[in-house]
Amino acid sequence: MAHPVPDPIATPSDDTIIHEILPVGMLQCNCSVIGDPQTREALVVDPGDEADKILAILAKHRLTVKAIVSTHAHIDHVGGLRKMQQATGAPVLMHGDDMELYRHLDVQAAWIGLRAPDPAEVDKLLREGDTLRWGRFEASVLHTPGHTPGSISLYLAPQKNNNVASDAAKLFAGDTLFAGSIGRTDLWGGSLEKILRSIHQKLMVLPDETIVYPGHGGVTTIGQERAANPFLELPHPGRHS
Ligand SMILES: [Zn+2]
Ligand SMILES: [Zn+2]
């Protein structure tokens, strides 16, 4: 073992929210466990690999998984779905426009020289405007195509009746928006025009203070990306008068 496995990134876990981010797998996809410390219900986002590590986090916080969501069907975001589904019995959700990609995990695995994981049963296809509910939390599904046809972002609005610091809105952006960058659009089904439209029309309309948790790399905010993300300067539909 040349490289020690990094500990989960320290994230605010207090009496209002439990949030742990675990970079998993060869491509270090950020898997998020978002739990309600009062009801002990959790949502798992992008269990791309290392299901055992994710399950250990759930056990540590005594959380029951209500749903397992993949922001898109690239192998690094879906590789752990089946194990998570089998271990928790929770439903697996993703956008219907990525089912084609999900049916071709073998092709994706070959791209990066891995063995294809067995697919999970997808229990529900998500669409723009759907709401996910667990514990006291609610997240809305934003369909943000471009990185893949069925890429989604999840917007977790601030909790009501709550004035603590961890109360900022959160966005789980998958591989659509990164700190200082955007998702690649050269893979199957990708479109630069669509990802720019998604980011401008669905994400840049969110409040500046929204904390963005990308599918890889560090955390950022909508305001920070609005101010300094060079890709947002690219021409996009609607930019020209
Ligand atoms: Zn991806
Ligand atoms: Zn990814």
Of 89, 49, 110, 72, which Cα lies nearest the Cα of 194? Answer: 72
Predicted local confidence at residue 215, as pLDDT = 98
Predicted local confidence at residue 37, as pLDDT = 96
What's 44's domain CATH number?
A: 3.60.15.10
- Residue 238 inside a domain? The answer is no
CA 46 / ligand 2 centre spacing (Å): 9
- Residue 177 inside a domain? The answer is yes
Q: How far apart are CA 43 and CA 29, in angstroms?
A: 16
CA 32 / ligand 2 centre spacing (Å): 13
Predicted local confidence at residue 240, as pLDDT = 54
Q: Does pTM top 0.85 for this prediction?
A: yes
Domain hosting 73: range is 18-233
Predicted local confidence at residue 13, as pLDDT = 59
- Residue 241 inside a domain? The answer is no
Q: Which ligand is nearest to the CA of 30?
A: 2
CA 215 / ligand 2 centre spacing (Å): 6
Predicted local confidence at residue 210, as pLDDT = 97
- Residue 225 inside a domain? The answer is yes
CA 235 / ligand 2 centre spacing (Å): 24
- Residue 224 inside a domain? The answer is yes
Q: How far apart are CA 121 and CA 14, in angstroms?
A: 33
Per-residue pLDDT of the chain (241 residues; tens, 9 = 90+): 344 444 444 455 568 999 999 999 999 999 999 999 999 999 999 999 999 999 999 999 999 999 999 999 999 999 999 999 999 999 999 999 999 999 999 999 998 888 899 999 999 999 999 999 999 999 999 999 999 999 999 999 987 655 444 578 999 999 999 999 999 999 999 999 999 999 999 999 999 999 999 999 999 999 999 999 999 998 876 665 4
Q: Which ligand is nearest to the CA of 72?
A: 1
Q: Which ligand is nearest to the CA of 144?
A: 1
Predicted local confidence at residue 21, as pLDDT = 98
Q: Which ligand is nearest to the CA of 29?
A: 2
- Residue 3 inside a domain? The answer is no
CA 208 / ligand 1 centre spacing (Å): 25
Predicted local confidence at residue 15, as pLDDT = 81
Predicted local confidence at residue 2, as pLDDT = 41
- Residue 240 inside a domain? The answer is no
Q: How many domains does the chain have?
A: 1
Predicted local confidence at residue 12, as pLDDT = 54
Predicted local confidence at residue 10, as pLDDT = 45
Alpha helices for the chain (secondary structure H): 51-60, 75-78, 81-88, 99-102, 105-111, 192-198, 222-228
- CA dihedral defined by 36, 38, 41, 46, rounded to 10 degrees? 20
- Residue 98 inside a domain? The answer is yes
Predicted local confidence at residue 80, as pLDDT = 97
